[in-house]
Amino acid sequence: MTDETTAARETPLAQRHVALGARMIDFAGWLMPVQYAGIVEEHRAVRERAGLFDLSHMGELYVEGPEAGSALARALVSDPRTLPVGRAQYSMICAPDGGVIDDLIVYRLGAERYLVVANASNTAVVSDALAERLDGMRVVLDDRSLDTALVSIQGPESVAALAPLTDVDLSTLRYYAAAEGTVAGIPALVARTGYTGEDGFEVFVAWERAGDLWDTMLEAGRSRGAIPVGLGARDTLRLEAGMPLYGNELDRGTNPFEAGLGRVVRLEKEGDFVGRVALEKAAAEPPRRRLVGLVVRGRGIARHGYPVLSGEAVTGTVTSGTASPTLGVPIAMAYVAPRDAEPGTMLDVAVREQPVAAEVVALPFYRRKR
């Protein structure tokens, strides 16, 4: 283990990853597996069969009390009050100037009980921001990030692999829904959510039960062709699915409308919320840039930070790029000037200072068959 990873926190599954041959890296202050068998093999397993992920580095923030829904509606850009119990929504917490502090998933677990899941790199920031924004309301914020483990199974065989292990009826669990029950006899929250573009589930359990859960799910999944998957394939999967990554497509200098996620912002909701004035202005004005998909038509891979050119002028910057294992071509997401954002527009990406042709395409790059 290198000095860089020595100070990183370990999930309850860290030693299991090492035993499985994973290459471990420091990610957002956590020691995490980046790959086991290889990124391409793991990516294809999720697209074709199933993959098992350790997501225990994510943040879990419980908000409970008589004013929980109203408090979250004031703190976030979405309106969690509209969620039926057992459903979830994609959301964001924004700064007063409209910049994205983090993107989140909000689950309504009861009439007055919610779970907010934050990115690992932003958990402390989100927790502090929520504490400030919920102050004075009849609500309790409980950061249980270090008490909660999260294991995810994703892919077309995920239902068949998970169903025999749980008393939750997966056939009635809709996308972006969650139910409390057991998995492998362990009390769990089972959510039909994910970050891969495939069908799948995220299973929340107590930290100390994560090892038993992982072992049972991995063994059950093997009969369906499931393998453990690291952060490397998770990134290529989410990029093919056109899903943003905080720190790449989203950050404090970006508002949801630029990212093509204005639908998440509920400007019509009752009551004020942090960032409303700035986001109303952003909604009313043409965006200064737009997030687009690019398929590289020349030789080379567009990487994060590479300039995007329209003629000889810089029109934007690549935010994420890879060689797509599913499509067999290099793909990227980038922010470009609105005039260059229409699908079919031909641009160039400066790959090691050499212009390489790239075509603007609609996102996502990949959509699973229903």
Pairing of strands 148-154, 178-183: unpaired
**Short-list 198, 211, 95, 203, CA closest to 154:** 198
DSSP annotation of 21 reads T
Q: Say yes or no: 138 and 187 in one domain.
A: no
Regarding whether 301 and 177 lie in a shared domain, the answer is no
Which amino acid would we find at residue 45? A
Q: Is position 268 within any domain?
A: no
Both 40 and 87 in a single domain? no
* 278-284 contacts, C-beta under 8 A, 24 or more apart: 278/94, 278/96, 278/97, 278/98, 279/77, 279/94, 279/98, 279/255, 281/98, 282/98, 282/255, 282/256, 282/257, 282/258, 283/257
Average pLDDT per consecutive 10 residues, the chain (370 residues; last block may be shorter): 62 98 97 98 98 98 98 98 98 98 98 98 98 98 98 98 98 98 98 98 98 98 97 98 98 98 97 97 97 97 98 98 98 98 98 96 94
Do 41 and 89 lie in one domain? The reply is: no
Domain termination residue (choose one: 96, 124, 143): 143
Helix (H/G/I), strand (E/B), else coil: 4: helix
Give buried/exposed letters for 178-206 (b at 16+ CB in 10 A, else e). Answer: bbeeebbebebbbbbbbbbbbbbbbbbbe
Q: Is residue 115 part of a domain?
A: yes
CA 178 – CA 88 distance, rounded (Å): 7
Burial of 32 (0-12, 13-18, 19+ CB in 10 A): buried
pLDDT at position 131: 98
Distance CA 207, CA 149 (A): 5
The per-residue pLDDT for 4 is: 45
In this predicted structure, what is the pLDDT of residue 5? 42
CATH number for the domain including 306?
2.40.30.110
Residue 127, domain member (yes or no): yes
Residue type, 232: G
Domain membership of residue 179 as a residue range: 3-55+148-240
pLDDT of residue 275: 98
- Round to whole Å and give the CA distance between 269 and 61: 23
Q: 257 phi and psi, to 5 degrees?
A: -70, -35
- Give the whole-angstrom CA distance, residue 309 versus residue 117: 37
Same domain, 31 and 100: no
- Strand-by-strand arrangement of the 59-64 sheet: 88-94, 100-110, 113-118, 59-64, 140-143
Q: Are strands 227-228 and 51-54 parallel, antiparallel or unpaired?
A: parallel
Residues 61, 71: contact at Cβ < 8 Å?
no
Q: Give dist(CA 124, CA 121) in Å, integer.
A: 8
How far apart are alpha carbons 130 and 301 in whole angstroms? 39
Q: Is 273 inside any structural domain?
A: no
Q: What angle do CA 78, 83, 84 make, to 5 degrees?
A: 180
Helix locations, the chain, DSSP H:
3-6, 14-19, 39-48, 68-75, 123-134, 158-162, 210-222, 231-240, 276-284
Number of domains in the chain: 3
Which string of DSSP letters, residue by residue, matches 246-299?
A: BTTTB-TT--TTTTT-GGG--TTSSS--TTHHHHHHHHHS--S-EEEEEEE-SS
Residues 134, 172, single domain; the answer is no
Q: Where among 120, 143, 166 does a domain terminate?
A: 143
The pTM score is 0.96
CA distance 295 to 344: 10
Q: Evaluate whether residue 236 is within a structural domain.
A: yes
Give the residue from 147, 152, 151, 217 showing the smallest Cα distance to 185: 217
